[in-house]
């Protein structure tokens, strides 16, 4: 696997605090790499260092073999990225905005511009002033800006911010297409694991400026499978059902109207629970699998309690 991005013991201090502490990882060509962490973990800071917006206090970052400080221009030729919000010149049209970047990049043709406009679905509005764009349209324009020069590395900070579900899916498809079909290394940061799960091949988990773990999404799922599953029951009388289960020493996680969730470790245990409910004369109206609880795994690894350190 070809390494496109490499962080080598990177440390960043700001305002007397160590924000990023000795972080190392690699992102390969052809994969979507999720950069996961709770608020304030240091995702944006790391991405800004990769893109040359922030200086690096210790360690180094190489992009396609070029040091992004000492060989800035060479390194940046292969990069496209959006940090936080995609900012555009609101007094220019969409196309004029794209041309600004075309002039700074080498080898972007007019045809290529048309192609990316089409790819992000902005053909009909591209000659309008950006100040009349919605947030989602600006996101799409931002994406067109950063992929026009066919970068080998695409770095996106919280790219799904402000997008509707259809927009998120569209973006996901674009990222997967770029990585899997065109061999781009795509790095995406997020604090929502559910999103990462659908989009990424591999995730790195960051908390308090330290990289806790880098795992294939598959591995994460297995880890979750190995743990407990959440099953949601719908019954005719949840009060009686809860009493029956509590007598057997099983505490429901959540009761809501006629539904309640319990956590089970195996199929056998699930069969036992259902049998005892039926025996107690309760009608089982529905049993649904609530999915692998990756959030649990995440919180377990990141140790988050919602407290920002």
Partner 1 sequence: MSKFFNLIVNELVKILAKSSTKIMLAIIVLLAFFWNLAAFINDREMRKIDEEVIDYDYIFEVYKYSEEYESMYQFLKEIGVTVTSDWRYDAMQDITDELSGTLRDYPSQREAALEWYEKLKKPIGDNDPKGYLARRIEYINTLPGMDSDTKKAYAAILKFAMENDIPPTRHDSRFSNLLSLIDKKAELSLLESMPADIRDTKRITTLKNEIAISEYAIEKNITTYLTEVSDEFSPFYFQGFWFAFSESVNQITVISLLILIIAGSIVASEYSVGTIKFLIINPVKRWKILAAKYLSVLITGISILIIYYILNFLMATAFFGLGDIGAPLLKASDGVVTAGSPFLYVAFMYLLNSVSLLAMATFAFMISSLVRNAALAIGLGVFLMMTGQGVTFLLGSIFGMDWARYILFANTDINAILSQNTPFLGHTLGFALTVIAVYMIVFLLTAYDAFVRTDIK
Ligand X SMILES: Nc1ncnc2c1ncn2[C@@H]1O[C@H](COP(=O)(O)OP(=O)(O)OP(=O)(O)O)[C@@H](O)[C@H]1O
Residues that bind ligand X (CB under 6 A): 14-15, 19, 37, 39-45, 191
Q: Establish if 160 lies at the interface with Mg ion (CB under 5 A).
A: no
Tallying the residues shown for the chain, one arrives at 309
Q: Establish if 44 lies at the interface with Mg ion (CB under 5 A).
A: yes
User: Is the distance from CB of 253 to CB of 193 less than 8 angstroms?
Assistant: no
Residues numbered 144-183 forming contacts with partner 1, rule: CB under 8 A: 145
55 is in the binding site of which of partner 1, ligand X, Mg ion, none (Cβ under 5 to 8 A by kind)?
partner 1
3-state secondary structure at position 263 = strand
Residue from 53, 192, 271, 275 in contact with partner 1 (CB under 8 A): 53
279 is in the binding site of which of partner 1, ligand X, Mg ion, none (Cβ under 5 to 8 A by kind)?
none
What's the closest the beta carbon of residue 97 comes to ligand X, in angstroms? Answer: 25
Distance between CA atoms of residues 162 and 187, nearest Å: 19
Residue from 3, 11, 18, 85 in contact with partner 1 (CB under 8 A): 85
Distance between CA atoms of residues 197 and 285, nearest Å: 30
Q: Tell how strand 32-36 and strand 185-190 pair up.
A: parallel
End-to-end CA distance of the chain: 36
Residue from 79, 95, 143, 297 in contact with partner 1 (CB under 8 A): 79
Q: Establish if 112 lies at the interface with partner 1 (CB under 8 A).
A: no
User: Is the distance from CB of 290 to CB of 232 less than 8 angstroms?
Assistant: yes
Residues contributing to the site for Mg ion (CB under 5 A): 44
Using CB under 8 A, list all residues that contact partner 1. 14, 48, 51-55, 72-77, 79-81, 83-92, 96, 99-101, 103-106, 145
């Amino acid at each position: 696997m070809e390494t496109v991005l490499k962080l080598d013991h990177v440390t960043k201090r700001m305002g007397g605090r160590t924000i990023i502490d000795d972080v190392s990882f690699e992102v390969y060509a052809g994969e979507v790499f999720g950069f996961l962490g709770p608020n304030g973990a240091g995702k944006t800071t790391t991405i800004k260092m990769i893109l040359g917006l922030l200086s690096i206090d210790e360690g180094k970052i190489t992009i396609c073999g070029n040091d992004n400080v000492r060989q800035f221009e060479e390194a940046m030729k292969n990069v496209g990225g959006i940090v936080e919000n995609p900012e555009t010149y609101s007094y220019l049209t969409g196309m004029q905005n794209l041309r600004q970047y075309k002039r700074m990049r080498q080898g972007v043709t007019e045809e290529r511009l048309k192609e990316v406009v089409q790819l992000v679905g902005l053909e009909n509005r591209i000659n309008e002033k950006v100040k009349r764009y919605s947030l989602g349209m600006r996101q799409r324009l931002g994406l067109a800006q950063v992929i026009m020069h066919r970068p080998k590395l695409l770095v996106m900070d919280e790219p799904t911010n402000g997008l509707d579900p259809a927009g998120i899916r569209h973006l996901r498809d674009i990222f997967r297409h770029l990585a899997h079909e065109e061999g781009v290394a795509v790095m995406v940061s997020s604090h929502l694991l559910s999103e990462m799960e659908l989009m990424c091949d591999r995730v790195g988990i960051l908390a308090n400026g330290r990289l806790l773990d880098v795992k294939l999404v598959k591995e994460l799922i297995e880890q979750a499978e190995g743990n407990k599953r959440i099953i949601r029951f719908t019954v005719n009388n949840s009060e009686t059902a809860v009493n029956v289960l509590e007598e057997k020493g099983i505490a429901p996680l959540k009761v809501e109207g006629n539904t309640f969730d319990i956590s089970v470790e195996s199929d056998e245990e699930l069969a036992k629970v259902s049998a005892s409910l039926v025996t107690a004369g309760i009608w089982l109206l529905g049993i649904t699998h609530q999915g692998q609880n990756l959030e649990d795994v995440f919180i377990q690894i990141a140790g988050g309690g919602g407290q920002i350190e």
